[in-house]
Copies of this chain bind each other. A is one copy, B any other.
Amino acid sequence: MGMSMPMPKGSSELEQAAEQEAAGECSWRRDFPIFNQPYRDGIPLTYLDSAATTQKPQVVIDALSDFYSHTYATVHRGAYELSSQVTDRFDQVRAKLAQFLGAPDERAIVFTRNATEAINLVAYAWGLDNLSPGDNVVLTIMEHHSNIIPWQLMAHYRGIELRYVEIDQQGELKLDQLAELIDEHTRLVGVTHVSNVLGTVNPLPEIGRLVRECSDALILFDGAQAAPHLPVNLTELEFDFYVLSAHKMLGPTGIGALISRSELLEKMQPFNGGGSMIERVELDTATWAELPYKFEAGTPHIAGVIGWGAALDYLTQVGMERVLDHELALTDYALARLSQVPGIRIFGQGQKMRLGVISFELAGIHPHDIATILDHHGVCIRAGHHCAQLLMKFLGVPATSRASFYLYNGRDDVDRLVNALMEAVEIFR
């Protein structure tokens, strides 16, 4: 029962791809079957919602099929070869992820459903036992709801206070305000690595140092929008928790991870209780399995992990530096072209570093009407609050339109976006 996993293409093909790239095409796109078919009425799919979720390359889809077709079994507990093999492959992905993120401590990599669950794990398993009235947690106004609501739940259960760092005109965090908000009762500081609305890349090294200097607070970084798009090296960061989702980085749905430190995880209660996470069970108590299994209760999303492994292989083959370069170039192009659209206002511009997530409004046209008109042209963008209602309120808008890019997007996508926006302007003139 072989494990034949299709490999991403070789490096000479990659170079060829780079050339076409320079010519404004995007050749990685061909690795994604959804782009090899017309979207609707013969028009191509212009997928600009990768900040929500990304499309999947053939290698990931095949990894899933092959796994279910040829080597499927459960992990950890099998008494037979097939299950041992699966267990090995499962934990190899953990090692791959550690390498991909420069995470020094494999035992502190916990598989979760998604970034959201990873944050909830921290909130419950650390927060319930360690937070009490009078304590505070410092967040930012640009957090995704997934890094707000878990802490509001802890406010409900443990009576803590929440504090929010604001942003400046460019869409960057006010670091001086962060320093002011932290006091001796601050137990955790939670900051997104990259904003899912403004594209802002927050200066994690600086933030990490700042928090460590002025407090004992734990540091949680939300990497959901970062890990897919730029090289991450956790070894260089001061942090306690880093979270991410596979589906935003070419992987399957239903799988994500929490990256932490073993000493910290050892001291925490488990989150979910169930099979695989125990060592010995008595009537009233149990002892927990070693890390990371202590935090992985029940049958895990085995196929999700295997598929994520294939996605990590693909991204590694492409190279995260290239992914970033591609996106930065495309973002520059997009910002330049978008600025030509009459009545456009782009939220967050002039940041020191920003990625390909562009939120905007068009004077007099509601985001939902924009999305409908764009969809008509096969251009898929997002309209709404982007799970960032606090930021919407701060920006003074009920909703924005958002276009977001990934490695399969090219200038042609930007051109189609701009053309469709021009039509929207025309219609609403």
Interface residues of A (CB under 8 A from B): 1, 33-34, 37-40, 45, 49, 52-53, 55-56, 58, 60-61, 64-65, 68-74, 77-83, 113-117, 119-120, 123-124, 128, 144-146, 148-153, 155-157, 162, 164, 245, 247-248, 252-255, 269-278, 280-286, 297-304, 367-368, 371-372, 374-375, 380-384, 387, 389-390
Query: Contact at A80–B381, with CB atoms within 8 Å?
Result: yes
Name the CB-closest residue of B to A389. B281
- Measured between alpha carbons, how far is A304 from B146 in the docked complex, in Å? 21
**Could you say which residues of chain B place their CB within 8 Å of the CB of A49?**
73-74, 78, 80, 83
- Measured between alpha carbons, how far is A74 from B61 in the docked complex, in Å? 17
Query: Contact at B273–A152, with CB atoms within 8 Å?
Result: yes
Interface centre among A74, A253, A285, A367 (most CB of B within 10 A): A253
19 pairs of residues in contact across A and B, judged by CB atoms under 8 Å: A53-B72, A53-B74, A77-B382, A77-B384, A79-B375, A80-B380, A117-B297, A149-B277, A150-B273, A151-B273, A152-B285, A153-B269, A153-B270, A155-B285, A162-B284, A253-B303, A281-B389, A281-B390, A282-B390
**Could you say which residues of chain B place their CB within 8 Å of the CB of A283?**
162, 164, 390
Query: Contact at A113–B275, with CB atoms within 8 Å?
Result: no
Query: How many monomers of this chain does the complex have?
Result: 2
Q: A70-B33, A78-B49 are in contact. Are A150 and B301 (CB under 8 A)?
A: no
**Could you say which residues of chain B place their CB within 8 Å of the CB of A252?**
68, 303
Interface centre among A113, A117, A255, A297 (most CB of B within 10 A): A113
Query: Contact at A53–B68, with CB atoms within 8 Å?
Result: no
Besides the known contacts A1-B38, A113-B254, A119-B274, 7 further A-B residue pairs in the complex with CB atoms under 8 A apart: A49-B78, A53-B74, A65-B65, A79-B383, A80-B380, A150-B274, A254-B302
**Could you say which residues of chain B place their CB within 8 Å of the CB of A304?**
253-254, 301, 304
Query: Contact at B80–A274, with CB atoms within 8 Å?
Result: no
Query: Contact at A37–B79, with CB atoms within 8 Å?
Result: no
Query: Contact at B72–A55, with CB atoms within 8 Å?
Result: yes
Query: Contact at A145–B275, with CB atoms within 8 Å?
Result: yes
- Measured between alpha carbons, how far is A289 from B151 in the docked complex, in Å? 17
A273 is contacted by which of B1, B53, B153, B368 (Cβ under 8 Å)? Answer: B153
- Measured between alpha carbons, how far is A280 from B273 in the docked complex, in Å? 31
- Measured between alpha carbons, how far is A247 from B273 in the docked complex, in Å? 19
- Measured between alpha carbons, how far is A287 from B374 in the docked complex, in Å? 31
- Measured between alpha carbons, how far is A245 from B73 in the docked complex, in Å? 15
Query: Contact at A145–B274, with CB atoms within 8 Å?
Result: yes
A155 is contacted by which of B78, B79, B284 (Cβ under 8 Å)? Answer: B284
- Measured between alpha carbons, how far is A162 from B70 in the docked complex, in Å? 43
Name the CB-closest residue of B to A54. B72
Query: Contact at B301–A254, with CB atoms within 8 Å?
Result: yes
**Could you say which residues of chain B place their CB within 8 Å of the CB of A162?**
283-284
Distance between A271 CB and nearest chain B CB, rounded to angstroms = 8
